[in-house]
Amino acid sequence: MPLKGELRDFSTTQLLNLINLAGKTGTLTIFQAKKTGIMEEVNGKKRERIEVGPEKAKVSFKTGKLIFAAMNGQEGNLVAVLNKAGKLTDDQARIIRERAKNTNDKALALLLINANYVSQNDVITSVQQYILDVVYSLMSWAEEPFRFDDDILPEKDRIQVPIDLENVIIEGSRRIKEIEELNQHLPNLDMALRFPENAKEKFKGVHLSVEEWRVVSFINPKYSIRQIAKANNMSEIEIRRVVYGLEQAGLVELVKPPGMVDPNAANRARKPAAKPQPQVQKVVVSRLIDKIRSI
């Protein structure tokens, strides 16, 4: 079953996180959002309904790693990629396009490497950069419909470069500008942070910025995010951006610090205190189990 949704409900960052954690193989297609002018109510809020428009971008993954990306309307073949990366001049690119019209990317890469036009490293880094540019730009999209199809991969003749998603998620989150979105994801700076269970493994090969390391060095369930920001002389927006990136990449988890007052407590205090939980004996639960089994 394909995963379907809209980026306004489930962002690109969240999707990449899901694909990474689930180790998925398949292709994510993002479509243009076609406005309908029809209002709908979602979770008590009115918003305009959107429909699936033409394809905008395709990104492919193999066992949770990014391997391919293409943007509609952009020439994404190897010649264009190498030309954009400055590895081929405009003239070289034009000549190769004319002479190698029917050659696929993999075969063309071999020809260019054997002819000493470019090195293997040039090909890999240029393709990698192109894939990342596509993914970073679509991480700023905020409403488009999407679909993830399991096990659908790009044609075999396309060059695929595996890229770990953790770094992509962190870098993409660094680029998120929308303060509102950050506030929504991390509304309470009085929460604390802790490392996940297999932290050592998760941090392996991850490239953190100086700001991220500064935050990581303070991680302790005793310190609130606000305290970490203060210790590092960071603004609320800066700390939110850093924590959001780390959290989305699965490198940290949010926890309540000891003694934290529940933000809803004041609201609930106005109401009569909840009655104590009923003292139910094990035998009662066992009888309920037997009954439901027999229905």
Partner 1 sequence: MQTVKMVITGPFSAGKTEFIRSISEIDVVSTEREITTPAEKKQKDATTVAMDFGRITVDDDLVLYLFGTPGQRRFDFMWEILAEGMLGFVVMVDSAKPETFREAKSILETFRAYAPTPYVVAANKQDHPDAWSAEDLRIALRIEEGVKLLPCVAKDKESVKNVLLELLYSILEEMES
Long-range contacts at 177-181 (CB < 8 A, ≥ 24 apart):
177/140, 178/142, 179/237, 179/240, 181/11, 181/142
Tell me which residue has tokens 């991969």: 153
Q: Does 264 bind partner 1 (CB under 8 A)?
A: yes
Q: Does 152 bind partner 1 (CB under 8 A)?
A: no
Closest CA to 129 of 93, 85, 172: 85
Question: What is the smallest separation between the CB atom of 24 and partner 1, expressed in angstroms?
Answer: 9
**Residue 227 CA: distances (Å) to CA of 192, 193, 222, 239:** 9, 11, 10, 10
**Residue 22 CA: distances (Å) to CA of 151, 160, 169:** 13, 20, 15
215 to 254: interface string for partner 1, x by CB under 8 A: ----------------------------------------
Q: Does 99 bind partner 1 (CB under 8 A)?
A: no
Tell me which residue has tokens 């209002």: 39
Distance CA 249, CA 145 (A): 23
Pick from 37, 41, 91, 155 the residue near partner 1 by CB under 8 A.
41
Question: What is the smallest separation between the CB atom of 294 and partner 1, expressed in angstroms?
Answer: 10
Cβ-based nearer residue to partner 1, 9 or 178: 9
Cβ-based nearer residue to partner 1, 44 or 86: 44
Cβ-based nearer residue to partner 1, 99 or 275: 275
Q: Does 4 bind partner 1 (CB under 8 A)?
A: yes
| Encoded tokens for 73 | 């309307």
Cβ-based nearer residue to partner 1, 130 or 244: 244
Question: What is the smallest separation between the CB atom of 82 and partner 1, expressed in angstroms?
Answer: 36
Q: Does 261 bind partner 1 (CB under 8 A)?
A: no
Question: What is the smallest separation between the CB atom of 270 and partner 1, expressed in angstroms?
Answer: 11
Please tell me the number of Cα atoms within 13 Å of 211 on its side-chain side: 18
Question: What is the smallest separation between the CB atom of 280 and partner 1, expressed in angstroms?
Answer: 6
Q: Does 101 bind partner 1 (CB under 8 A)?
A: no
Backbone angles phi and psi of 33, in degrees to 5 = -90, 115
Helices 12-22 and 236-248 pack at an angle, to 10 degrees, of 30
Vertex 51 angle, CA 184 and 249, to 5°: 35
Cβ-based nearer residue to partner 1, 53 or 263: 263
Pick from 17, 62, 73, 142 the residue near partner 1 by CB under 8 A.
17
Pick from 99, 101, 200, 271 the residue near partner 1 by CB under 8 A.
271
**Number of residues in contact with partner 1, rule: CB under 8 A?**
42
Cβ-based nearer residue to partner 1, 84 or 185: 185
| Encoded tokens for 231 | 């210790």
Cβ-based nearer residue to partner 1, 110 or 288: 288
**Is the CB of residue 215 less than 8 Å from the CB of residue 232?**
yes
Closest CA to 198 of 21, 17, 61: 21
Positions in the binding site for partner 1 (CB under 8 A) = 1-6, 8-10, 14, 17-18, 21-22, 39-44, 46, 262, 264, 268, 271, 274-275, 277-278, 280, 282, 284-293, 295
